């Protein structure tokens, strides 16, 4: 299964929020600048693609099925989005070879915005991972957010990381979240099996999201490692020893969440020196993109084997 948001024809969760935005669109009251906030992996970007298809497919054959919250695979707008040729849709995200969304990407977006829309349809700008906008990119984006062109909508995906208040204040913020039960139900739909058949429940915690669990299972299955056989401590021992975290940036970020969860689970927060030290070290490594090897080795030595 391809977990990329643009490929997801079924919407799992957030049905009430989806109905509300569709109703606003039908009444010509959809906000032109929407910020979708929430944990990474809960389905914010998929939610955005469904809103976009709902709007763009209204006068087309095989339009969006609002009763089933489903995109029709034969819909023209959907196919054009998949092929990255839809004239009424633009995506801005971190390029694979870069660490940030740079100013040139925003400049290219501005050039596209100055062109007329196709068939007088609305135009949607989706900006994913906005926490990776650099300072120059944010400043350029703020200018176009102040006075967007008519019939143009911006949807910004925010993964609960720190962003500039000036950017947040220009958008209507929709906070999306899942209860633990919903997370497990959606994950089982993605995995198409009982979650306990794929992963040890000791590895499920309040950081877990359907996207992260699916990526974790898929990644380790390719390595022929059965996560259902590993408890949390064994799991952390394995990935640090084998340096598995180096093989995928998304997996490495999930590992950081597991480390903090392990500290909390073992009541390390009651030993403030330990908890604060490792959490601060972890934040420093992530913030300045430092070599994580020494951090993981120290965590293994002092906490896992201490």
Distance, in Å, from the CA atom of 126 to the CA atom of 57, rounded to the nearest integer, reads 17
| Residue 196, both tokens | 């306990």
146-166: buried (b, 16+ CB within 10 Å) or exposed (e) per residue? eebeeebbbbbbbbeeebbee
Q: Is the pLDDT higher at 63 or at 168?
A: 63
pLDDT at position 245, please? 87
pLDDT at position 267, please? 74
Judge whether residue 271 has pLDDT over 80.
no
- What 183-186 contacts at long range (C-beta under 8 Å, 24+ apart), as own/partner pairs, is 183/42, 183/208, 183/209, 183/210, 183/213, 186/12, 186/13, 186/43, 186/210
pTM over 0.95: no
Region 236-240: mean pLDDT is 94
Query: Quick one: which of 236, 237, 185, 239 has its CA closest to 213?
Result: 185
pLDDT in tens, 111-160: 888 776 667 889 999 999 998 898 899 999 998 898 888 899 999 999 98
Q: In whole angstroms, how far apart are CA 274 and each of 266, 280, 290, 304?
A: 11, 10, 20, 12
| Residue 85, both tokens | 């040729």
72-90: buried (b, 16+ CB within 10 Å) or exposed (e) per residue? beebebbebbeeeebebbb
| Residue 166, both tokens | 């000036």
pLDDT in tens, 65-122: 999 999 999 999 999 999 999 999 999 999 888 888 999 999 999 888 877 666 788 9
Question: Are the CB atoms for 67 and 235 separated by under 8 Å?
Answer: no
Structural domains in the chain, sorted by start: 5-175 (3.40.50.300), 180-304 (no CATH)
Which H or E run contains 209?
none
Residue 143 has φ and ψ, to the nearest 5°, of -65, -40
pLDDT at position 270, please? 61
DSSP 288: T
Query: Can you give the three-state secondary structure of 138-152, one letter per residue?
Result: HHHHHHHHHCCCCCE
């Amino acid at each position: 299964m391809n977990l990329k948001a643009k490929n997801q024809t079924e919407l799992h969760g957030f049905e009430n929020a989806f109905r509300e935005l569709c109703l606003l669109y039908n009444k010509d009251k959809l906000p032109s600048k929407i910020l979708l906030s929430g944990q990474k992996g809960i389905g914010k970007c998929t939610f955005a693609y469904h809103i976009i298809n709902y709007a763009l497919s209204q006068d087309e054959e095989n339009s969006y099925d609002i009763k089933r919250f489903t995109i029709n695979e034969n819909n023209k707008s959907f196919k054009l989005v998949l092929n990255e040729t839809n004239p009424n849709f633009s995506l801005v995200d971190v390029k694979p070879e870069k660490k940030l969304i740079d100013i040139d990407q925003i400049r290219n977006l501005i050039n596209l915005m100055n062109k007329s829309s196709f068939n007088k349809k609305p135009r949607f700008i989706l900006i994913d991972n906005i926490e990776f906008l650099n300072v120059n990119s944010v400043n350029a984006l703020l200018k176009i957010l102040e006075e967007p062109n008519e019939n143009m909508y911006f949807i910004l995906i925010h993964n609960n990381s720190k962003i500039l208040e000036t950017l947040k204040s220009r958008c209507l913020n929709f906070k999306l979240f899942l209860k633990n039960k919903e997370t497990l139900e959606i994950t089982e739909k993605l995995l198409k099996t009982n979650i306990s058949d794929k992963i040890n429940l000791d590895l499920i915690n309040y950081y877990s999201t359907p996207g992260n669990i699916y990526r974790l299972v898929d990644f380790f299955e390719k390595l022929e490692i059965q996560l259902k056989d590993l408890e949390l401590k064994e799991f952390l021992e394995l990935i640090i020893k084998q340096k598995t975290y180096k093989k995928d940036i998304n997996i490495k970020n999930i590992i950081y969440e597991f480390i903090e969860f392990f500290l909390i689970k073992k009541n390390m927060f009651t030993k403030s020196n330990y908890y604060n030290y490792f959490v601060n070290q972890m934040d420093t490594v992530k913030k300045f993109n430092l070599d994580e090897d020494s951090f993981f080795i120290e965590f293994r030595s002092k906490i896992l084997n201490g």
